[in-house]
Structure 1
Amino acid sequence: MGFRNISRKLNPWTAPIGGDEQSARLVEAAGATVDADDEYGWRRLSGDASRDLSPLSQDRMRETALYLWDANMLANRIVELPLAYMLAEGVELRTSDPDMQEAITRFWRDPINSMDVKLPKKVRELSIFGEQCWPTFVNEVDGHVRLGYLDPALIATVVVDPDNPEQPIGVVTVRDRKGQVRRYRVIVNGPESVFTSRTRDIRETFADGDCFFFTVNDLSVSRRGRSDLRAPADWVDGYDQFLFGEIERYNFLRAFVWDVTLAGADEEKVKKRAREITAPPPGSVRVHNEGEEWKAISPDIGAYESAAAGRLFRNHVLGGSTIPEHWFGGGGDVNRSTGDSMGEPTFKVFSMRQRFVKHMLEFVGCYVIRQKLIAKRGEPDWWDERLAVEAVFPEMTARDTTKYAAALSQVVTGVMIAIEAGLLTEEAGAALIASVAGRLGVELDPAAELEAARTQAASRRTRQAEEDVFPGPAAPAAGDEA
C-alpha cells in the first residue's frame, strides 16, 4: 500500500534574495497519491508477455457469464449439470485422528460456514467467475476457522511469487468508498520458510488477513481464472437469438391470406370485386359461382431446415462443453448402448473438476487442522500426518455392476488356470482380481489379501486334519430314535 507523505518546502518565488530561510513563506506540496507497484524491481521469470485478460475484459467476462447463467437455459445447464453430479449427494471431510475430526466437523457445521448449504454456491461461482477468494477468520484461543467471501469483482490485482510465477502470494482489492484497499495474504499450508527471503518480504506487506484463492481454466503463468462460459458465451447467445427468431417465424406460419381468382374479369371488374369482398369469419359459408375461386395460402417457412440448423448450433455448444446431445432434449440416433458410451467423456471432464474441488476442500481442511495445532502446540511440520484430510464424494452415477461381476468370475477362473499351469504367480493373480474388484467398488490390497487367504487356508487344513484324526459322533440316520 502506498503512503502519502505531506512535506513542506521553500517556495522559490517568495523566498527573499539572499536565502534567508527563516523568513521564507512555507507552502504544502501538491500531488496525487499513488500506490507503489508491489513487484517493483522484480523481473518476471515468465517474461513480459501477459497470459491474463485485460481488467476490462475480465469484468465483461464475469458480467456476461453471470447474465447467461441467469437468463440462458443452455448456459445454465453447462454450469449446473457438473455441479449436480458432483455435489447432489453431499460431500464429507474425513481424517483418521479423532481430535482433528472434531475440529473438521465443527468447522463444517459452524453456523457461519454452513458448508452443506454454501459449498454448492461456492462451486457454482467458481464455474461462473473462474475464481474464488475466501478470507479467513481464526480464533486465536482454540484455532477455530470461519470463512468469509470476497466477490471476484472486488479483486484488483493478484500478486505472484517473483521467483515462481505460478504461485499467488497476495490479493489486492479495489478501493472502497473511503479510498481504502485491503491486502490479503494467500494461504499456503506450510511455514513461511517455503518462500525465499524477498518473497517473504513481499508477503509481509499483506497485513489485512489471510485468504484462500482458487482459479480454474487458467495457465501456469495466469493470475486470474476464467469462466466456464467464456468460450461458449457468443454461441449460446446466438442459439437463444435463433430460437426467438424461430418463434417469430412460426407466428407467421399461423398467418394466411385468401387468394381469390376471378375468371375472365378485366381490371375494372377485379377492382370492383375487391371493394365488395370481405374476409369470411371462421366457420362461415362462402357461396360463389364457377367464375370465382377462393384459396387460403400460407407461407412455407422450411421447418425441417430450421430444425437441422437448431441442432447444429446446439450441438456445437454442447460438444464444446462435453455434454451429450440427449442430455439437453435432443434424442438423435441414441439408444441405451450408445448413450452409455457417449456419457464417458462427460464424466471424465466432470471427474477432473471434482478432483479440483476435492483438492480445494482438503486444502481448507488441512488449514483448519493447522490452526488448531498452532493454537495448542505451535506451527506443525507441513508433512505432519495429522494434517492429512480426505474429501469423500459419492459415486456420480449408479454403477452398472453386471458386466464387472461377469468379468470377475471369468478373471478368477482364468487366474486359477494360469497359476496351476505355472504361467502366473499368486501375487500377480491376486492383483488382477483386485483390479476387477475395484470396478465393483471394493478396494483390496492384493498382498494383504493373499497373505490372509494363505493363513485361512492353512487354518482350514489344520482343522480338517484334526477332524480326520478325531472324528466326531456320526449324525443319526433319518427315522432313528434318539
Structure 2
Amino acid sequence: MTEPRTTLASRLAARLFDREINHRVDLALAALDDTRDRLLRPIFAALPLSNTRDRPDGERLDLLRQSLEAWRTNPLARRIVELTSQYVVGGGIGLDCRHQTTRLFLQEFWEHPLNRMDSRIIEWCDELTRSGELFILITTDPAGMSYVRAIPATDMAEISCEENDLEQETRYVLQDGRSYRGRSALTDTNGLPPFILHYAINRPVGALHGESDLAPLLKWLARYSGWLEDRARLNRFRTTFLYAVTLKGSTSVERRKRQAELNLNPPSPGSLLVKDEAETWETLSPRLESSDANEDGLALKKMIAAGAGIPLHFLAEPESSTRTTAESAGGPTFRHYEQRQEFVLWMLRDVLQAVCLRAVRCGRSLDPKAAIEIRGTDISARDNSELAGAASQIVSAFSELHSRGLIDDAELLRLAYRFAGEVVDIPALLQQAVDNHPKSVENPVDKQSEFGS
C-alpha cells in the first residue's frame, strides 16, 4: 500500500509545483549563461572578426597542405603547376624604365645574388598556382637595397585590415608570433621596418585569402590516382592463372588426395599432361575488361583537365588525330595563361615600385613616379604569326584610304594595332611622334581641333 501512496503524492506534487520548478531552473541557467558571457565577452572582443567569405582557418590550412602534397606526389598536379609557370614566365621577364638612374638601380636589384629574380619568378609563379596567394617579405639595408622573400601561406596566422576596407591590409601575424606591417610601412618615417605585400588569385569578393588552382581538382586527382593504381595492380597479375581440375565421380577423399599430388608436383610451363576422361583441366585468369576501364579513366582525366582549364593533349591524352582540332582546343587555355601573366606582371611592377620607394627613403636619387615597364614573353607563337598576317593585310588595305585622305593617322593606327592584337594609347603615340619629329609629323588631334574652331 505504500508504493501507490508515493506515486500518487509524486503526481500531485508534479501537477502543483512542476511548472514553478522548471521556471526557477530556467532562470538559474539564464543567470549562469549571462555570467559566463560577461566573463568571456572581453576575450571574444579581442579576437579578430572572422570573414564569412573565407574558408575556416583549419579547412584553409588543410587545403594548402593537400595541395602541396598533391604537387609532390601526383604527376598530373605537378604538370598543371609547371604548365602555368612555363607559359606565364616563358623565356623570362623583361624590365625597362626610361629614367636612367632608376633603371640601373632596378637592374641591380633584379640581378642581386640575394634576390636572383630571374629564377625566383618561377618559384613565385609555382607557389601562386599551388597556394593561391603570395606573401612577399621585403627588407631594406641602410644603403637602400631591398631583398625579397616569399613566406609560405601556411605560416600566416592572422591578417589585420582597416575597419572600413578589407583590401587595405595593415598587419600580418605569423604562426610563430612574429608580426609585420603592410603597405603602410612605405610611408613610415621611423626607420626602415620590414613589411609584407600580399597578392592573391581566385579570391572571392570580400575575402582575404586566395585559393589554389588545385583546390577543385584534389578530389578528382585522388580518384584518378586510386583508379590508376588499381589498374596497375590488376595488370601486374594479368599473366597469372590457376588450374581448375574437375574429377568426375570422385569422392571428397579422392579429390583431396589428387590435390595434394598436384600441389606436390605442379605442371611446369611447356610440359606435357596426360589425363583420362575422368579429369577436366581448365585455367582461371583475371579479366581486366580494359576497354571499359579506359572510358572510366578518360572520364576522370577529362574532369581534371576541365578543372585546370587545359585541353587533354596537355596531359598526354590525345583528343583527336587532327592537328587543327588540337590547336583550336588550346584557345581558352591561352586566354587563361594571358590573364595570369597580366597578374604576375602587375605583381612584379608593384614590388619594384615598393623597392624604389624604399631606395628613395634611403637617399638614392631615383624617380619614384617613373613608369616601370615589365614585359612577358608571348603565350602562343602561332597567334603571333596569324596576327602579323592580319595586321599586314589590314595596313595594306587601308593605306590607300589614308593616302586619299578618307581616314586620318589615328584611325589607321587604331586599325593596325587592333588587328595586331595590341592595346595602345593612340593619342599618346601620335603625340610622341610629333615630339620626336615636329616638322615631318602632323598631329591629327590638333588638326581636328583647329577645324572645329
Band of TM-score, shorter chain: 0.7 to 0.9
Unaligned runs of 5+ in 2: 1-41, 442-453
| Residue in 2 that maps onto 1:283 | 270
Q: Confirm or deny: 8 A CA contact 1:235 1:317 kept in the other structure.
A: yes
* SS of residue paired to 1:280: coil
Given the superposition, is the C-alpha separation of residues 438 and 325 from structure 1 closer, same or farther in structure 2, using an over 3 Å criterion?
A: closer
What residue identity is the alignment partner of 1:85?
Y
Residues 63-91 of structure 1: per-residue CA shift (max 9 Å, x gap) = 11111100011111121110122224121
Q: Name which of 303, 313, 327 aligns with 1:326.
A: 313
Matches within 5 A, 1:9-48: 37=46
Structure 1 residue 433 displacement after superposition: 3.0
* SS of residue paired to 1:371: helix
> How many residue pairs were aligned?
392
Q: Confirm or deny: 8 A CA contact 1:362 1:389 kept in the other structure.
A: yes
Is the counterpart of residue 411 in structure 1 residue 407 in structure 2?
no
| Residue in 2 that maps onto 1:24 | none
What residue identity is the alignment partner of 2:73?
A
Matches of 1:116 and 1:435, distance apart in 2 = 31
Is the counterpart of residue 385 in structure 1 residue 381 in structure 2?
no
Structure 1 residue 134 displacement after superposition: 2.4
Structure 1 residue 412 displacement after superposition: 3.8
Given the superposition, is the C-alpha separation of residues 447 and 112 from structure 1 closer, same or farther in structure 2, using an over 3 Å criterion?
A: closer
Given the superposition, is the C-alpha separation of residues 339 and 145 from structure 1 closer, same or farther in structure 2, using an over 3 Å criterion?
A: same
* SS of residue paired to 1:339: helix
Residues 204-258 of structure 1: per-residue CA shift (max 9 Å, x gap) = 9xx9632222222212321222222221111111111111111122234322222
Given the superposition, is the C-alpha separation of residues 449 and 385 from structure 1 closer, same or farther in structure 2, using an over 3 Å criterion?
A: closer
Matches of 1:444 and 1:267, distance apart in 2 = 102
Is the counterpart of residue 394 in structure 1 residue 377 in structure 2?
yes
| Residue in 2 that maps onto 1:433 | 416
| Residue in 2 that maps onto 1:311 | 298
What residue identity is the alignment partner of 1:325?
L
Matches of 1:231 and 1:405, distance apart in 2 = 38
Q: Name which of 284, 296, 313 aligns with 1:297.
A: 284
Q: Confirm or deny: 8 A CA contact 1:430 1:450 kept in the other structure.
A: no
Matches of 2:410 and 2:130, distance apart in 1 = 48
Q: Name which of 163, 178, 183 aligns with 1:187.
A: 183
Matches of 2:113 and 2:403, distance apart in 1 = 62
Q: Confirm or deny: 8 A CA contact 1:131 1:216 kept in the other structure.
A: yes
Residues 125-170 of structure 1: per-residue CA shift (max 9 Å, x gap) = 2222222222222123x32111234332221110111121222121
Q: Name which of 122, 128, 140 aligns with 1:126.
A: 128
Is the counterpart of residue 157 in structure 1 residue 158 in structure 2?
yes
* SS of residue paired to 2:215: coil
Matches of 2:152 and 2:389, distance apart in 1 = 52
Residues 161-194 of structure 1: per-residue CA shift (max 9 Å, x gap) = 11212221211123x3xxxx3221112597479x
Q: Confirm or deny: 8 A CA contact 1:258 1:279 kept in the other structure.
A: no
| Residue in 2 that maps onto 1:257 | 242
* SS of residue paired to 2:382: coil
What residue identity is the alignment partner of 1:390?
E
Matches of 1:363 and 1:189, distance apart in 2 = 15
Matches within 5 A, 1:346-361: 346-361=333-348
* SS of residue paired to 2:229: helix
Instruction: Name which of structure 1's ranges 50-59 and 413-422 shifts more when overlaid on structure 2.
Output: 413-422
Given the superposition, is the C-alpha separation of residues 188 and 101 from structure 1 closer, same or farther in structure 2, using an over 3 Å criterion?
A: farther
Matches of 2:295 and 2:420, distance apart in 1 = 45
Instruction: Name which of structure 1's ranges 423-432 and 338-347 shifts more when overlaid on structure 2.
Output: 423-432
What residue identity is the alignment partner of 1:385?
K
Q: Confirm or deny: 8 A CA contact 1:189 1:363 kept in the other structure.
A: no
* SS of residue paired to 1:133: strand
* SS of residue paired to 1:225: coil
Residues 364-411 of structure 1: per-residue CA shift (max 9 Å, x gap) = 11112112222227998xxx632x212221123333555445434542
| Residue in 2 that maps onto 1:340 | 327
Q: Confirm or deny: 8 A CA contact 1:75 1:236 kept in the other structure.
A: yes
Q: Confirm or deny: 8 A CA contact 2:139 2:193 kept in the other structure.
A: no
Matches of 1:265 and 1:89, distance apart in 2 = 78
Structure 1 residue 295 displacement after superposition: 3.5
Matches of 1:129 and 1:84, distance apart in 2 = 17
Given the superposition, is the C-alpha separation of residues 411 and 289 from structure 1 closer, same or farther in structure 2, using an over 3 Å criterion?
A: same
Instruction: Name which of structure 1's ranges 253-262 and 109-118 shifts more when overlaid on structure 2.
Output: 253-262
Matches of 2:183 and 2:66, distance apart in 1 = 30
* SS of residue paired to 2:292: helix
* SS of residue paired to 2:330: helix
| Residue in 2 that maps onto 1:115 | 117
Given the superposition, is the C-alpha separation of residues 97 and 412 from structure 1 closer, same or farther in structure 2, using an over 3 Å criterion?
A: closer
| Residue in 2 that maps onto 1:233 | 218
What residue identity is the alignment partner of 2:180?
Y
Instruction: Output the TM-score relative to the length of structure 1.
Output: 0.71
Higher helix share: 2
Given the superposition, is the C-alpha separation of residues 408 and 283 from structure 1 closer, same or farther in structure 2, using an over 3 Å criterion?
A: same
| Residue in 2 that maps onto 1:463 | none
Q: Confirm or deny: 8 A CA contact 1:93 1:362 kept in the other structure.
A: no
Matches of 2:92 and 2:273, distance apart in 1 = 68
* SS of residue paired to 1:376: coil
Matches of 1:136 and 1:326, distance apart in 2 = 40
Matches of 1:323 and 1:378, distance apart in 2 = 46
What residue identity is the alignment partner of 1:126?
L
Residues 335-389 of structure 1: per-residue CA shift (max 9 Å, x gap) = 2111111111111111222111111110111112112222227998xxx632x21
Given the superposition, is the C-alpha separation of residues 146 and 134 from structure 1 closer, same or farther in structure 2, using an over 3 Å criterion?
A: same
| Residue in 2 that maps onto 1:9 | none
- Paired-residue identity, %: 25
| Residue in 1 that maps onto 2:55 | 53
Instruction: Output the TM-score relative to the length of structure 2.
Output: 0.75
| Residue in 2 that maps onto 1:369 | 356
Matches of 2:366 and 2:172, distance apart in 1 = 24
Matches within 5 A, 1:151-230: 151-174=152-175, 176=176, 181-187=177-183, 191=187, 209-230=194-215
What residue identity is the alignment partner of 1:299?
P
Matches of 1:74 and 1:430, distance apart in 2 = 44
Q: Confirm or deny: 8 A CA contact 1:103 1:368 kept in the other structure.
A: no
| Residue in 2 that maps onto 1:196 | none
Given the superposition, is the C-alpha separation of residues 220 and 305 from structure 1 closer, same or farther in structure 2, using an over 3 Å criterion?
A: same
